């Protein structure tokens, strides 16, 4: 059995044919290390199950990042990696927003419950048929209502729970829209496909936004929390700046 993996690139150590022991293979950051990124400050009271799921997702993001950096892949496969990176990253953001709103008592409350619907007989007016429905609601003890991701984003932005700049929220909204492309059957036209919808710059915005969020001062994160792989390098940052300038020129 081969034990020496010191001369191999990380992805080479994962090849079954090389028969490298588990301890010598490339590994993402461990779950406890990644959990530490969502264990401090405003996230210190996050439920254990949610924290674990976020850590698993961060492990998956790190593995996808390795594939994009090390492998010569077919362009379609690269696009699908961008897609899964964005879907997974956006799910992490949604979980963080969910926890922050819930733990700070800012979740939308439901105070009325539908008791009955009273329907009128059908009637005609100006040759058009109508009917009237009256909804009878009863007052209840307030309970948590439903909030979609759009509502969470708006609430987070307005309440300023964290230090994330207002400039970041339009990108989060765009990433949320891309996340909805998980539904393969939703296509508005012939070019509304993953190939056209998921691009390198979207992947960079996902990395940048998620890193900025996880390193927000409200979470007291420090070096060694395992999320350094999300930090964009100088070339990637330059690409993001060009994208911002392009949007300004188009406005």
Supply the pLDDT for residue 144: 63
Supply the pLDDT for residue 106: 86
- Digit-by-digit pLDDT tens for the chain (251 residues) are 344 566 788 888 888 888 888 888 888 899 999 999 999 999 999 999 999 999 999 999 999 999 999 999 999 999 999 999 999 999 999 999 999 999 998 887 677 788 889 898 998 988 899 999 998 888 866 666 678 889 999 999 999 888 888 888 888 998 888 888 777 776 676 777 888 888 999 999 999 999 999 999 888 876 667 899 999 999 999 999 998 887 666 65
SS3 string, the chain, reads CCCCCCCCCHHHHHCHHHCCCHHHCCCCCCHHHHHHHHCCHHHCCCCHHHHHHHHHHHHHHHHHHHHHHHCCCCHHHHHHHHHHHHHHHHHHHHHHHHHHHHHCCCCCEEEEEEEEEEECCCEEECCEEECCEEEEEEEEEEEECCCCHHHHHHHHHHHCCCCCCHHHHHHHHHHHHHHHHHCCCCCCCCCCCHHHHCCHHHHHHHHHHHHHHHCCHHHCCCCCCCCHHHCCCHHHHHHHHHHHHHHHHHC
Judge whether 91 and 179 are in contact, CB under 8 Å.
yes
Supply the pLDDT for residue 2: 44
């Amino acid at each position: 059995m081969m034990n020496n993996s010191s001369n191999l690139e990380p992805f080479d150590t994962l090849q079954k044919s090389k028969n490298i022991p588990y301890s010598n293979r490339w590994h993402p950051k461990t779950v406890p290390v990644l959990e530490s990124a969502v264990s401090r400050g405003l996230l210190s009271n996050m439920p254990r199950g949610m924290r674990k799921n976020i850590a698993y997702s961060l492990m998956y993001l790190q593995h996808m990042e390795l594939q994009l950096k090390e492998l010569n892949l077919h362009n379609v496969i690269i696009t699908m990696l961008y897609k899964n990176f964005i879907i997974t990253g956006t799910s992490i953001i949604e979980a963080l927003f969910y926890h922050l709103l819930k733990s700070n008592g800012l979740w939308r409350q439901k105070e009325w419950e539908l008791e009955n619907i009273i329907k009128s007989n059908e009637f005609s007016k100006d040759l058009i048929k109508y009917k009237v429905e009256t909804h009878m609601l009863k007052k209840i003890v307030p309970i948590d209502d439903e909030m979609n991701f759009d509502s969470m984003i708006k609430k987070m932005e307005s309440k300023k729970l964290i230090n994330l700049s207002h400039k970041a929220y339009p990108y989060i909204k765009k990433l949320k829209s891309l996340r909805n492309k998980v539904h393969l059957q939703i296509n508005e036209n012939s070019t509304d496909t993953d190939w056209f919808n998921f691009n390198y710059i979207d992947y960079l915005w996902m990395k940048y936004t998620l890193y900025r969020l996880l390193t927000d001062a409200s979470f007291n994160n420090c070096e060694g929390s395992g999320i350094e792989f999300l930090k964009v390098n100088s070339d990637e940052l330059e690409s993001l700046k060009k994208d911002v300038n392009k949007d300004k020129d188009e406005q």
